[in-house]
Structure 1
């Protein structure tokens, strides 16, 4: 199988990294270092709340799960093989509604778990084009976990998160869980004014995720939506001179702070944290589109620039992505929804905006993709 990167790609193999990486001022609430415990009684429906609908998906934190460093692998981008008329993915009778002109689509009348390989290829390409797609009335949550993982494994090697909770026996599933009765929002907003925390998942890995799946298990009656921003359109909005200046620049992405936060909370540490360098502007292997690839959760500094110079450019890019409401979409969760996004060309943030103690429980399948690369500026 052919590699995703092209002959014109550029990489930085090694750089001098700072000896101490401190949590930046942009670092806010982050769902992946959320609660590390829950009320068993509440999840069983014994404390005035409804029982968890999918108890076999409740998080566990097994300290015996220890893994060696991730090794490079050759990723094949199936979106390059897709028929872009999408006959298997979007057959006649499917309802397709774009949420905004550049990002976000809602699809009804298609069952993802029944897709052929050709349909999966089309899914990868369609999601790369639309950035995030909400598929309604799906059966993912009701499948055996092994079957859901088999489906996701078509799109890349499964990422095992270094610190998050997972269903017992399935560390490849990353869980987003706030249990019934959890009033974390009340304490959180005593110190902060907003729960928005834009990020691209685990961008500190050498080969971060690509086509990513998140499916709902339990949800509050209202609240807990997810925001997405289009990093391709954000790049397109920049002036030609600024685009040219960003090309050739690399930034460090650190998993150290996330691992340290997990340790401080008494949680697990499956692998030792890593720091990787990635181009600030990366190219998508299927579409050829370029996207801004820095985020305030994991990016730490621009290689070769002084601190003040690096901070100024990164703050501009963070603000540009965060404030661009005209290239963002908001996904409202419904029962039996699977949201699929391309982690290479988007950023997202969960919202911690409900205060009634209702459960929010989701599962993520996170196939890794190619090492980020950049094609020349034109």
Structure 2
């Protein structure tokens, strides 16, 4: 049996040593005054990982009180809970993620499943240290290590989000596409793709740089009954190969060889039982068993539906005390790269993402992922 990710992860001390040698994404002098320089991106080019093996997963939402009295602060006047739109997105102020009890975390997992994304304001999460942040993430599931992305110097599990005037990979904004939006569900090509993702931003542009989430559950609900019936019996291929090939073309290190998975097109959430589309423009390549023209036509319909349904979306504005958590099983999301990345005063968007892996997707009637 191949070793697990946990068994091959370098120690914090080893990563610190590597970080000193491998950090090529920024100039130390330029960032000497940056408060969160210790979170700047580095690229470990030596650690490789075996293929991810199947593992047992139990969603914390199954343990939650369905009324969610503790996370919603029903008896706490200091907690303010706001629905951002009728169907997707909830904002919470007056609670610190770093101080949540297990009971509150269980209720949070359920709330994220129900609302798609939950946004916490006024957070100290960025200041509690990497080990406590890891501990918080692990409560919800096994931590994912991104196969090609930059990371935080002492934590390969923290996928670094960095786009600024000195970013080596800012060329993505010079693409030939009309729009920089790209809806996706995080690394959905994994055999057991992510459940909950947590993102905290440390630096944000003075304007712009928002994130939009779209509800895949609402997207499914709005389809006609004949289309629902068709999709419920289908699987689609999600592939990590284009991402790996792109990374290699850019000279970046691929720490785990890419995989493909055939996931149900309609996924059933293990806690809520809600049905949701599980395709996205970022990683879904074709529908299994259909002719090329049929697959292309259906995916084009679904991708347009996902991307253009503003009435099933929520757009969140960031500040450096905001943390957002979302359920990749029922949402897709995109960054909004509408700010001036070349402006040193206004163009830095920097943070880190902690992603937890979930269960092997199951569709309607028990239809399972295959690979």
Quickly name the TM-score band, shorter chain normalised. 0.7 to 0.9
Note the C-alpha offset of 1:41: 4.9
The answer to whether the Cα contact below 8 Å between 2:41 and 2:153 also exists between their aligned partners in 1 is: yes
Partner of 2:17: none
Partner of 1:109: 94
- Please give the per-residue CA displacement for 1:227-254, whole angstroms capped at 9, x wherever unaligned: 1100000000011111011111001100
Partner of 2:350: 361
Partner of 1:372: 361
Residues 126/190 of structure 1: CA separation in 2 closer, same or farther (3 Å cut) = closer
TM-score under structure 2 length normalisation: 0.87
The answer to whether the Cα contact below 8 Å between 1:181 and 1:359 also exists between their aligned partners in 2 is: no
Structure 2 counterparts to residues 1-378 of structure 1, below 5 A: 38-41=25-28, 43-44=30-31, 51-91=33-73, 92-93=76-77, 94-182=79-167, 188-189=173-174, 191-355=176-340, 356-357=343-344, 358-376=347-365
The answer to whether the Cα contact below 8 Å between 1:131 and 1:230 also exists between their aligned partners in 2 is: yes
Give the secondary-structure state (helix, strand or coil) at the position aligned to 2:179. coil
Residues 118/319 of structure 1: CA separation in 2 closer, same or farther (3 Å cut) = same
**Which whole-Å CA distance do the structure 1 matches of 2:232 and 2:44 have between them?**
42
The answer to whether the Cα contact below 8 Å between 2:203 and 2:319 also exists between their aligned partners in 1 is: no
The answer to whether the Cα contact below 8 Å between 1:155 and 1:211 also exists between their aligned partners in 2 is: yes
- Bigger Cα displacement from structure 2, 183-192 vs 162-171: 183-192
Note the C-alpha offset of 1:69: 0.6
**Which whole-Å CA distance do the structure 1 matches of 2:52 and 2:244 have between them?**
15
The answer to whether the Cα contact below 8 Å between 2:25 and 2:168 also exists between their aligned partners in 1 is: no
Give the secondary-structure state (helix, strand or coil) at the position aligned to 1:127. helix
The answer to whether the Cα contact below 8 Å between 1:42 and 1:181 also exists between their aligned partners in 2 is: no
The answer to whether the Cα contact below 8 Å between 1:213 and 1:341 also exists between their aligned partners in 2 is: yes
Residues 316/187 of structure 1: CA separation in 2 closer, same or farther (3 Å cut) = closer
Partner of 1:3: none
The answer to whether the Cα contact below 8 Å between 2:219 and 2:277 also exists between their aligned partners in 1 is: yes
Query: Which structure exhibits the higher relative contact order, with contacts defined as CA atoms closer than 8 Å and separated by 6 or more residues?
Result: 1
The answer to whether the Cα contact below 8 Å between 1:283 and 1:290 also exists between their aligned partners in 2 is: yes
Give the secondary-structure state (helix, strand or coil) at the position aligned to 2:365. coil
**Which whole-Å CA distance do the structure 2 matches of 1:197 and 1:325 have between them?**
14
**Which whole-Å CA distance do the structure 1 matches of 2:224 and 2:200 have between them?**
37
**Which whole-Å CA distance do the structure 1 matches of 2:256 and 2:177 have between them?**
30
Note the C-alpha offset of 1:359: 1.3
- Please give the per-residue CA displacement for 1:318-366, whole angstroms capped at 9, x wherever unaligned: 0001110000000100121110100110000001111124211011110
Note the C-alpha offset of 1:152: 0.5
The answer to whether the Cα contact below 8 Å between 1:39 and 1:180 also exists between their aligned partners in 2 is: no
**Which whole-Å CA distance do the structure 1 matches of 2:48 and 2:122 have between them?**
36
Note the C-alpha offset of 1:143: 1.1
Residues 165/194 of structure 1: CA separation in 2 closer, same or farther (3 Å cut) = same
Give the secondary-structure state (helix, strand or coil) at the position aligned to 2:214. strand
**Which whole-Å CA distance do the structure 2 matches of 1:190 and 1:371 have between them?**
34
> How many pairs are equivalent?
337
- Please give the per-residue CA displacement for 1:280-302, whole angstroms capped at 9, x wherever unaligned: 00010110001001111111111
Note the C-alpha offset of 1:38: 3.2
Note the C-alpha offset of 1:169: 2.8
**Which whole-Å CA distance do the structure 2 matches of 1:287 and 1:182 have between them?**
41
The answer to whether the Cα contact below 8 Å between 1:42 and 1:179 also exists between their aligned partners in 2 is: no
- Bigger Cα displacement from structure 2, 94-103 vs 187-196: 187-196
Residues 335/206 of structure 1: CA separation in 2 closer, same or farther (3 Å cut) = same
**Which whole-Å CA distance do the structure 2 matches of 1:138 and 1:177 have between them?**
20
